[in-house]
Structure 1
């Protein structure tokens, strides 16, 4: 049978079944004619639609992804070892959906929303949310202007992220991409405690089980799991699981967004999803394009990332939004947001290859991490000259906007002069001052992993960096000074930090920050 074409197989079957009234049955069910590599081909299922969930006799579920003239191709959601030729497959009439609810918080789930952390079933009310859903139209969106603070000085000062934005984290392997995303999740703890939570969904795509477990343990240790859901798609799972995992994470995020709350979804990482999608497409015999990816891989990522948005506050308008599932219609409120942090892995820093350029063109900016910076001890290893946020100062609190306005420009000037200074032997005083200030700012912006900074502390330390108050302190003493300076402010000037946190920065506050910095810096001056 393996030498026969599908059309020949279906002709033989049609001939053998010509005496029977099977036409009505074959519209609702089908017969498996080939199975392997996570894909089953079935004769029949004449009424099936694209993306429909179908079920085999064995209980295995699959998704209809190819509708051919004489057969349908089904991608399986679990290993195919129990399915064999001749098995019956039936329509369910449903699209692929996931059960979501408040009980998911703190749990590790698979792409169907089933818990896999050994803590028993998910409690509370659950709602059906489709995995594939139309992105909200323009009239249902608001401008992105509310900050989503990451707790990372580099990002909150120069590449700010707003609620509802899509900001790409891109770089080579082992440059700290996941660390930035995890830091952002950990930083939401203070907002959760202040009853203004950002619910986080971390989607682990094609990772080892041990890596997912260590992420869970880290988030639990840092107190971040009460407002976080981990969607797991291990590297040992079928390719289909890795393709649909980001859609599951987005559906969970949309539940919080549509019920009027803020959510953040991290896709770690979409390069792996694209590779799995390529694998499935080639098995489905779709024509390969550039780098063997199918032509619709751009559409795969765009229809996923376009769903990130800030929803209009008007509740009556929000209720009319596209494709709201019946199950949550009564719960819909305006003003919610879904922020996306997709991660993309590059090869030797090549951001001009196929998948990176696709995702860069879909997102509202990118944070580019560089291997050379990472190995030189600059962590997070962000190259601020090609990192950008297309939302910019609109997503910053007033105090941060005031002090960080010149920071990016200063650092760009420093980078340019630094590359030239390697060739010159004698430099003038002005150039030396710019280089010294740039190096001090780099020291200020350095940060340990998993230790996000409060926004007020960020403003306080970046302020004295931009004012060049630390010019006489040796570079190797900056980090010690920073710890002492911030500790002193917390102990003696908590009211001042509170004002900075709320966006206030006037002359009086500026003078106090300068005075404290100058007094403490005297003992570090060589």
Structure 2
């Protein structure tokens, strides 16, 4: 029902016996549909429409119908009639009394004026006014009628004035211009009685409130409870709305007042958020004071259109050898990190953030349902490695209500989008979307939505698809930035076929599967080479890395196959022994300590040396030290090779030969 239809319906209250006349008109239009089509047709002359109205419809509604035709709104007739009938029910059932709270009692003349206003607004001349003295208002009055509240109190006027000033100044105004803006808007400001639609809480519990009396709320609208707690409309029913609460429900009771704001959920954004820890609503949690915002973005925002996107072509280097060589990630890609608990999923995300130092990438880490101690530990790790300067932490801990956990990833994405549309490259980590789905399931069940597979609601796929589709690399015309998403999913006993894992796998552009068996065997990061894939990252991989890592996946696959056969036979030829030694060396080289990312040049040097079998005859127990010493040797004695790789990002035959010769020289010196 549009606001225009509701306004027309209010005008009908001034027409005597309007309901009967509308019924008569509806019968005529139903019997002869061509009349309605002609009256709604913008190509038909207005004079002809007036002639039809005068000859067919009841006398009392002719002027009203002519007004509809003049405004080109006759197609709204059915909506207007429905709205009028509903308003009659409202008048009959609810609007029998009005409540006037005041400090100084109104005079008879003022009361008469209020009654005239109520008669015009509600279409009822017999509304009784309940007079209540309320000293807390200080001055002015508040008139409550039905679901509406007209606020002319001192506090209401102050709030109205503050809103006007905030809208005028804006969050991005420069300091020099604020004074002139304030002066202009104070001079132009006209106080008006605030009309509010007010509802009453009928039930509250577990972060959910059901509200009666708000008839025109829309899905996703923010409402405010009388205790100051904000909520978001998540369920619109015939007689009430379901609201999720962005705060504790301890101060909300049955009978508490709820006021519509007419606004969607949003949060402040800006460069001031870098290095800060905030909650799902953008409020600081780190005790470092208020955050200066540069703008405001809605939490829910449409994903970039196909026209605004461009293909993934630039690498997002993680610094992790096993990922950058075999499952490369590009800027604008969505790469899922999936595995059982305690397999190193968060560690991969953390190392990737640390590796972005000096690469002009903004990082956003969204913690959903994590322990506060875990988040504190992660912040310390990032701070020790100098990564907090370009990172924002959005935290919705396990102790926060489910609605805050539900909205946290959307808030984090809104922050990321601010930088993306400013031309920046952004890396966002969602840790983890399994807990996000559980929070949404809890909300949906409390809102009495029908459960489906694993008790998740039917729209749980859309929950994650609309989130992850906001990550993209956009064209220069649209802003020129990118958002690279690393969503994390926790599996149970390695089951990739569960509901949420299969959903997110189908949404993302690849997945890195971490296996418990590999982790427990000491292979860390515990990446399963067979089940992991990157669907679009290959196009973003540098030429040097692509050439250096060309056969590594095949070599590892052959090694695993041969390793199985060695359990049955000990009689092996020299070629097989060499291949097994090469495979064992590769597996050991793919092990990497925490917070020690490799640069692209270091990774290429390691892979070229490995393909030349430099590491094959080194003892496994000494291989890590050998690798570290070799990289230090390259930095000290052959820095020109590293500079060439970083400048050209290509692996020519000359550079490849130089790397092999230098590695053999180092190995000879070690012996």
**TM-score > 0.5, shorter chain as reference:** yes
CA pair 481-368 structure 1, distance change in 2 beyond 3 A: same
Query: Structure 1 CA distance, aligned partners of 2:488 and 2:259?
Result: 37
Higher relative contact order (CA 8 A, sep 6+): 1
Counterpart mapping for 1:331-370 below 5 A:
334-370=479-515
Query: Structure 2 CA distance, aligned partners of 1:470 and 1:431?
Result: 16
**Larger mean Cα displacement after TM superposition, 223-232 or 494-503:** 494-503
- Note the aligned Cα RMSD (angstroms): 1.7
Query: Structure 2 CA distance, aligned partners of 1:420 and 1:289?
Result: 46
Query: Structure 2 CA distance, aligned partners of 1:15 and 1:427?
Result: 94
2:558 corresponds to 1:413: yes
- 1:44 deviates by 1.7
Query: Structure 1 CA distance, aligned partners of 2:240 and 2:568?
Result: 67
Q: 2:435 matched to which residue of 1?
A: 272
2:129 corresponds to 1:17: no
Q: 1:426 matched to which residue of 2?
A: 571
Give the TM-score of the pair, scaled to structure 1.
0.90
Deviation digits for residues 236-278 of structure 1 (CA, Å, limit 9, x no counterpart): 0000111110001101110010111100100000000000100
Q: 1:147 matched to which residue of 2?
A: 315
- 1:218 deviates by 1.1
Contact 1:57–1:89 under 8 Å retained in 2: yes
Query: Structure 2 CA distance, aligned partners of 1:278 and 1:424?
Result: 53
Deviation digits for residues 391-427 of structure 1 (CA, Å, limit 9, x no counterpart): 1421211111111111112112222222333233433
- 1:523 deviates by 5.8
Q: 2:226 matched to which residue of 1?
A: 57
Contact 1:176–1:369 under 8 Å retained in 2: yes
Contact 1:96–1:132 under 8 Å retained in 2: yes
Give the TM-score of the pair, scaled to structure 2.
0.71
**Larger mean Cα displacement after TM superposition, 468-477 or 439-448:** 468-477
Q: 1:116 matched to which residue of 2?
A: 285
Contact 2:365–2:391 under 8 Å retained in 1: yes
2:214 corresponds to 1:68: no
Counterpart mapping for 1:59-138 below 5 A:
59-123=228-292, 125-138=293-306
CA pair 141-427 structure 1, distance change in 2 beyond 3 A: same
> SS of the counterpart of 1:310?
coil
Contact 2:329–2:538 under 8 Å retained in 1: no
Contact 1:499–1:505 under 8 Å retained in 2: no
Counterpart mapping for 1:126-525 below 5 A:
126-191=294-359, 197-313=360-476, 315=477, 318=478, 334-502=479-647, 503-522=649-668
Contact 1:470–1:521 under 8 Å retained in 2: no
Gaps of 5+ in 2: 1-88, 98-121, 123-144, 150-195
Query: Structure 1 CA distance, aligned partners of 2:537 and 2:262?
Result: 45
Contact 2:201–2:256 under 8 Å retained in 1: yes
Size of the alignment, in residue pairs?
490
CA pair 404-89 structure 1, distance change in 2 beyond 3 A: same
Q: 2:113 matched to which residue of 1?
A: none
Query: Structure 2 CA distance, aligned partners of 1:107 and 1:365?
Result: 30
Contact 2:147–2:199 under 8 Å retained in 1: no
- 1:475 deviates by 2.1
> SS of the counterpart of 1:189?
coil
Query: Structure 1 CA distance, aligned partners of 2:374 and 2:566?
Result: 42
Query: Structure 1 CA distance, aligned partners of 2:480 and 2:269?
Result: 20
- 1:79 deviates by 1.1
- 1:15 deviates by 7.7
Deviation digits for residues 305-338 of structure 1 (CA, Å, limit 9, x no counterpart): 000000012x2xx1xxxxxxxxxxxxxxx32000
> SS of the counterpart of 2:434?
helix
Query: Structure 1 CA distance, aligned partners of 2:312 and 2:560?
Result: 30
Contact 2:351–2:596 under 8 Å retained in 1: yes
Deviation digits for residues 358-415 of structure 1 (CA, Å, limit 9, x no counterpart): 0000000001101111111111111111110001421211111111111112112222
CA pair 524-353 structure 1, distance change in 2 beyond 3 A: farther
**Larger mean Cα displacement after TM superposition, 501-510 or 90-99:** 501-510
**Larger mean Cα displacement after TM superposition, 28-37 or 470-479:** 470-479
> SS of the counterpart of 1:113?
coil
Query: Structure 1 CA distance, aligned partners of 2:667 and 2:622?
Result: 10
Q: 2:53 matched to which residue of 1?
A: none
Contact 2:268–2:297 under 8 Å retained in 1: yes
- 1:29 deviates by 2.0
Contact 1:477–1:524 under 8 Å retained in 2: no
Q: 1:330 matched to which residue of 2?
A: none
Contact 2:276–2:284 under 8 Å retained in 1: yes
CA pair 392-431 structure 1, distance change in 2 beyond 3 A: farther
Contact 1:473–1:524 under 8 Å retained in 2: no
Structure with greater Cα Rg: 2
